[in-house]
Amino acid sequence: MHKNRGPIYYGDYLKLDALLGSQEPLSKKYSPECHDETLFIIVHQVYELWFKQILHELYLINKVFSQKVVPDQELASINLKLERVEKIQSLLLDQLLVIETMTPMDFLEFRDLLVPASGFQSLQFRKIEVLMGLSTQNRTAVDRDYFMGRLSENDKKELLDIEDQPSLFVLLEKWLERLPFANVENYSFWSDYQTTINQMLKEDESLIMKNLATLGPKEKEAQLANLEATKQTFATLSNEGEHNKLIEKGQRRLSHKATLHALFILLYRDEPMLQQPFNFLTHLMNIDENFTTWRYRHSIMAQRMLGTKIGTGGSSGHQYLKMAAENNRVYNDLFNLATFLVPKSLLPELPAEVAKKVRFN
Ligand code: HEM
């Protein structure tokens, strides 16, 4: 613990002279000053401060997960940090309500002064995206152009350097692959689980067959096609080759082994040793979802301010932002694992040897 070495003054500690002297409305330079430009600047600056805090947490998490083995006792505090990120995200969402107290006409008073500056150039926002696992290659072509095209050469280089490091997504994948419980001697989680799945699919099939007599030919065909599609989806889980084909097509990202192990955590989440891993996966999904919600809300706010006008950074504005909200999700694979969950009552019992490893006694 550090000891205080002398008196300290509130304003000096927080560097308030620098902080509060950092709002310089451009309109003031060209007079008359637009009243709402101060709000516009402060809201953006507060966002950037919170982005800084989120990055502070993400760097720590990346450091812990970059170790060869992630010590179990560190997972609880990582989960607390991720929960902090979630709370910050709630504030980020609420701040849109503050900026929406500025009317589109008030914004128009100073908007043209900002061209070509744009949120596209928020280096910290981009760093968060990349650290979470949204790199250049995971973006759509149009997004990729905007992503890099609007940044200064220095910022671009800084971002590319971060892209060269493993993202949280990559570290998660490696960590999941190392999970010790799913495959131990004489036990393979998958073969046990497959029996349960086959039984469930069989029951679905007999239910559909029973109902077929009451259906018209088109409905019959649709129900059988649905059943076949469900069977095929499950088959990709047991077949690494099929899984890898989906990765090649860009429909899945997480490796086959990591996917099975993540599923094991979700299914046996009540086992004491799996509770922190389960919380970890849940936080990652929450954070991914919160960013998507923010993107979507920001796109609606942009529509309210601009209608169908283009953005100061040159994109189609609302349309572009809406598309980015849909496309830029990182942890889709974790969400889609819900496809493979079964009722708790159908879960196969863990063999004694495995149960011993995941329980306190
Ligand atoms: C009047 C308020 C705002 C409007 C009308 C607005 C509009 C836009 C538009 C149209 C874009 C697309 C890029 C472009 O063509 O310029 C954009 C991107 C962006 N804006 Fe805003 N924005 C506003 C406030 C904010 C605030 C307060 C933040 C907080 C930091 C923010 C962060 C971003 C980010 C990070 C992007 C890039 C998003 C991406 O590429 O997925 N914006 N904004």
| Distance from Cα 312 to the centre of ligand 1, integer Å | 9
**What pLDDT does 219 receive?**
86
Strand partners, 253: none
Long-range contacts of 299-303 (CB under 8 A, 24+ apart): 299/324, 299/325, 301/96, 301/99, 301/100
Q: Can you tell me the mean pLDDT for 241-249?
A: 94
| Cβ of 312 less than 6 Å from ligand 1 | yes
**What pLDDT does 55 receive?**
98
Q: Tens digit of pLDDT for each residue in 82-110?
A: 999 999 999 999 999 999 999 999 999 99
Residue 3 · residue 21 · CB < 8 Å: no
Sign of CA dihedral 244, 247, 249, 252: positive
Buried b (16+ CB within 10 A) or exposed e, 82-100: bbebeebbeebeebbeebe
Chain position carrying tokens 């991720």: 82
Strand partners, 188: 183
| Cβ of 54 less than 6 Å from ligand 1 | no
pLDDT at 294 over 80: yes
The neighbour count for residue 306, using CB atoms within 10 Å, is 17
Tokens of 86: 């979630």
Q: How confident is the model at residue 188 (pLDDT cuts 50, 70, 90)?
A: confident
In sequence order, the 6+-apart residues with CB closer than 8 A to the CB of 217 are none
pLDDT at 144 over 80: no
Ligand 1, residue 96: give the atom nearest the CA: 27
**What pLDDT does 109 receive?**
96
Ligand 1, residue 302: give the atom nearest the CA: 5
In sequence order, the 6+-apart residues with CB closer than 8 A to the CB of 227 are 201, 204, 205, 208
Q: Tens digit of pLDDT for each residue in 29-51?
A: 998 999 999 999 999 999 999 99
Residue nearest atom 2 in ligand 1 by C-alpha distance: 302
**DSSP H/E element including 234:** helix 217-238
Q: How confident is the model at residue 210 (pLDDT cuts 50, 70, 90)?
A: confident
Residue nearest atom 34 in ligand 1 by C-alpha distance: 119
